[in-house]
Structure 1
């Protein structure tokens, strides 16, 4: 991916020098609880005993210097974020006749807090609609490569674009409507809605990818394959198999590997928001 020497975004909130602190696990609720479940899910370890009221706190935060690798990761994310801002501003104007309001991206190390709750870097990136910010521990890129077999700079860019796609959904009013419905239905039905939300975000990430390439000539040989491979490696079925479990579709929240790859490709092939309406699709 061609990104060095290009404009970065001003909408970056870098918390990494704080070192991360103050996250209480026990009784955290909300995203804090989801963080523990996600860590166990990712590592294939049952961490539910931590979900009692005894609590578990991280050490006090300390100011530290960023490594050269961390600095470069921050610069990379800033450029990708800037690309999303320009692409979605253009797409909203051309395809919707609307104005795009960019998200802020929070970089953190280890743990952090948000209005959606506390989170650990082990949960992976997330978007919080309460403050319209995406949260990312850049160490997750190494996790993708070393544990998930999803390396490459464009695989990392896909992750950023996916989280910003949730902000696009928020801007369109889709995310709030879907989450409101999720609170009123069964767990299985809620999971099914979550899958459609996530696959739409994959498709929107594909829209961003092709439009960014048209505008900035970012793609190099193998980049698209990196993104498609990342989409496959983080499918629910693949993650469950890698954790030594039999895939259970009723528990899926993001979609299968094939679905995630296909919806990203759909957005990339079309470059249009209207092709990403997973809620109108009879089959995913």
Structure 2
């Protein structure tokens, strides 16, 4: 792909190197509150506080900070760490991801009225979202609750080394697929499917989940079609990289690799053939009206 030197999105929240839900490094055990108050209001406690006031006057420190550090272990503040420094390769992947996100913004703002840009959250190991906490093992995901895409860049290494799906356009397909879920949120499709969760059996709901995912693949293809018309970023072999990635993450292929058998009733994303076909259809037509996977029969 010819992506370098192009616009990067400003809608990127880089949380790499941060932990997930913050944990306090200080704070007072509630069982100690009684003894603490008795100490504070005793003669000895007043003397101690008086000494701190004199010390703070001499040193110029805030007496409340000093007292808080003494009794509350620093006020329960979250531990701080040095700024995260990624490798040159990882930083380039972060820049690449921001560039692809910008390309999706350009395309979808042109195709959809009232399109609102999602935020891409880059994280390491684990992350907290409006959809709950998740680890890198979850893979890239979109959270409709906060309209954000979540990505641990290590997934791109996994695609190359474990899934045999290398290439920058394969990576672009992953980002565009998650943006496809954002479009489903904007248009109300994902909310309709979500409302069915409590009304259907797991097997029946999985069928709707498959159609939702295949539509996101189709929308990723629509993005690629219009992005190519607008920017000519794609090079020879790029389309095949995306199709190879879609093939690598088909439910049938992943199940066969992990357990040696395929269970269609448990599919949630579609077969390799379906994922490739719907992405290719989006790419070849560029027409959103042809992506109604919910009416398609067979898929």
**What's the TM-score, normalizing by structure 2?**
0.79
CA contact (8 A) 1:182 1:193 kept: no
Question: Offset at 1:243?
Answer: 0.8
Question: Offset at 1:144?
Answer: 0.5
Over residues 5-62 of structure 1, what are the superposed CA-to-partner deviations in whole Å (9 max), with x where a residue is unaligned? 11000100000032x34489xxxxxxxxxxxxxxxxxxxxxxxxxxxxxxxxxxx884
Separation in 2, partners of 1:155, 1:87: 18
Correspondence 1:231 to 2:258: no
CA contact (8 A) 2:214 2:269 kept: yes
Question: Offset at 1:121?
Answer: 1.1
Correspondence 1:118 to 2:133: yes
CA contact (8 A) 2:20 2:133 kept: no
What is aligned with 1:178? 193
What is aligned with 1:9? 9
CA contact (8 A) 1:106 1:135 kept: yes
Q: Which ranges of 4 or more aligned residues in structure 1 deviate by more than 3 Å?
A: 21-24, 60-63
Correspondence 1:130 to 2:145: yes
**From 148, 151, 165, the counterpart of 1:150:** 165
Matched residue SS, 2:101: helix
Over residues 181-226 of structure 1, what are the superposed CA-to-partner deviations in whole Å (9 max), with x where a residue is unaligned? 1232100011111000000000000000011000010110100000
What is aligned with 2:221? 206
Would you say how many aligned residue pairs link Structure 1 and Structure 2? Answer: 243
Separation in 2, partners of 1:61, 1:256: 45
CA contact (8 A) 1:155 1:227 kept: yes
What is aligned with 1:80? 100
Separation in 2, partners of 1:88, 1:66: 30
What is aligned with 1:105? 120
Correspondence 1:242 to 2:257: yes
- Structure 1 residues without counterparts, runs of 5 or longer: 25-59, 93-97
**What's the TM-score, normalizing by structure 1?**
0.83
CA contact (8 A) 1:182 1:189 kept: no
Taking a change above 3 Å as real, the CA distance of residues 21 and 262 of structure 1, as seen in their structure-2 partners, is same
What is aligned with 2:61? none
Separation in 2, partners of 1:155, 1:186: 34
